């Protein structure tokens, strides 16, 4: 359908436009890329590419810029993922190795990604849905007041206050704590409900109410915290967006403040492999002139969460994809170690 050379022309247009931020013309193209043909020929090719919707002219008699469809083709067929240089890799590893806890890992990852790609970075906290329970702790704060602490294998800790229907003795508490742990430690969150279902029955009548309360709070925590958290960074990179800046940046900043939007954005990314959403492919209308590059990461084979960057559609896709992939890989390693 499109000859080899025309694809080459498209690739050249994308590369030049990403570099210069200005519409690129036929003459400039032949000068910068050894295409082996004259500007006139390139012009013909450009006309075809425009007919097919891969490139467009901002106004008559200006150069061409790639359309979303053009970038899509570029990403799918014309560009690979650019691997990072080994100094870069070392830098990533060193930087991430210094992290002391989960917050720190996520925080460092965000900064790293923002710096590497010079774009806005978004990192999702390891999801609880796929996590397993490392420990459940129950503390007695007052006669009829307990605190539930849930510790996950990814190092996350959640706590909840519980007001009991009746005072709950220390022995009962120790009993519940022991039984609870023996059942759920090492198990997945999603499995917990059925594992604890029959627990109240094995307690004395007077304690049953409290045990039920504790369990319902526990289950609630599991559900509630599946609603995932994010960290973002590098928003100052938005200033490199372009000239028509204020009008572009506004909706992006707004979208970035809405966790829901971001979660959906990352959520759309498929589990395996890298996802690139270009311009209007993004559902959210504030982000129609941005692209999102996202990938899952995890401690083992399975992705426990996602991370990615948000930038102008005119971005260096190979480089960005390379950075995102590399960072995801290293973060996975770090998580696996801890």
Partner DNA sequence: TGCTGGCACTCGAACGCACAGAGTGCCAGA
Partner DNA sequence: TCTGGCACTCTGTGCGTTCGAGTGCCAGCA
Binding site for a second copy (CB under 8 A): 101, 134-135, 137, 139, 141, 147, 149, 151, 157, 159-160, 233-236, 238-239, 245-246, 249-250, 253-254, 256-257
Interacting partner of 157 out of DNA, a second copy, none (Cβ under 5 to 8 A depending on kind): a second copy
* Contact criterion met (CB below 8 Å) for 266 and 124: yes
* CB 331 to DNA: min, Å: 42
Between 110 and 192, CB nearer to a second copy: 110
Between 28 and 138, CB nearer to DNA: 28
* CB 7 to DNA: min, Å: 13
* CB 247 to DNA: min, Å: 15
For residue 213, give the H/E element and its range: helix 205-224
The tokens of 308 are what? 């990615």
The tokens of 255 are what? 């979208």
For residues 312 and 322, give the distance between their C-alpha atoms in angstroms, rounded to a whole number: 17
Coil, strand, or helix at residue 1?
coil
Between 5 and 89, CB nearer to DNA: 5
* CB 330 to a second copy: min, Å: 21
Q: How far is CA 119 from CA 113, 175, 221, 243, 293, in A?
A: 8, 52, 34, 16, 11
Interacting partner of 25 out of DNA, a second copy, none (Cβ under 5 to 8 A depending on kind): DNA
Indicate the pairing of strand 145-152 with strand 157-163: antiparallel
* CB 53 to DNA: min, Å: 13
Report which DSSP code applies to 203.
Answer: S
Q: How far is CA 283 from CA 72, 121, 235, 265, 277, in A?
A: 16, 19, 21, 8, 9
Interacting partner of 27 out of DNA, a second copy, none (Cβ under 5 to 8 A depending on kind): DNA
Interacting partner of 134 out of DNA, a second copy, none (Cβ under 5 to 8 A depending on kind): a second copy
Between 17 and 74, CB nearer to DNA: 17
* CB 327 to a second copy: min, Å: 18
The tokens of 26 are what? 């036929």
Report which DSSP code applies to 76.
Answer: I
Using CB under 7 A, list all residues that contact DNA: 5, 23-28, 36-41, 43-44, 46-47, 50, 57, 59-64
CA 198-204-206 angle, 5° bins: 115
Between 16 and 228, CB nearer to DNA: 16
């Amino acid at each position: 359908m499109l000859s080899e050379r025309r694809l080459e022309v498209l690739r050249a247009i994308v590369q030049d436009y990403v570099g210069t931020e200005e519409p690129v013309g036929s003459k400039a193209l032949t000068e910068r890329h050894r295409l082996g043909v004259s500007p006139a020929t390139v012009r013909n090719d450009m006309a075809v590419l425009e007919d097919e919707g891969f490139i467009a002219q901002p106004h008559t008699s200006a150069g061409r810029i790639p359309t979303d469809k053009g970038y899509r083709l570029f990403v799918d067929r014309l560009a690979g993922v650019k691997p990072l240089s080994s100094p870069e890799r070392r830098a990533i590893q060193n930087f991430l190795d210094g992290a002391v806890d989960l917050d720190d890992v996520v925080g460092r990852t965000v900064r790293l990604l923002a710096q590497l790609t010079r774009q806005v970075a978004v990192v999702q906290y390891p999801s609880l849905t796929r996590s397993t329970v490392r420990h459940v702790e129950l503390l007695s704060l007052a006669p009829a007041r307990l605190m539930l602490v849930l510790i996950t294998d990814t190092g996350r800790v959640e706590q909840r206050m519980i007001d009991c229907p009746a005072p709950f003795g220390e022995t009962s508490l120790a009993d519940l704590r022991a039984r609870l742990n023996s059942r759920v430690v090492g198990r997945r969150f999603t499995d917990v409900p059925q594992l604890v279902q029959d627990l109240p029955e094995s307690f004395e009548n007077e304690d049953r109410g409290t045990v039920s309360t504790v369990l319902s709070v526990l289950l609630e925590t599991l559900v509630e915290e599946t609603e995932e958290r994010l960290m973002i960074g590098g928003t100052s990179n938005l200033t490199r967006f372009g000239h028509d800046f204020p009008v572009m940046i506004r909706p992006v900043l707004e979208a970035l403040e809405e966790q829901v939007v971001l979660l959906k954005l990352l959520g759309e990314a498929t589990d395996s492999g890298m996802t690139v959403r270009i311009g209007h492919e993004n559902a959210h209308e504030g982000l129609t002139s941005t692209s999102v590059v996202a990938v899952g990461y995890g401690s083992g084979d399975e992705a426990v969460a996602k991370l990615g960057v948000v930038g102008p559609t005119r971005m260096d896709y190979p480089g960005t994809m390379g950075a995102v992939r590399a960072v995801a890989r290293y973060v996975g390693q770090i998580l696996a170690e801890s």
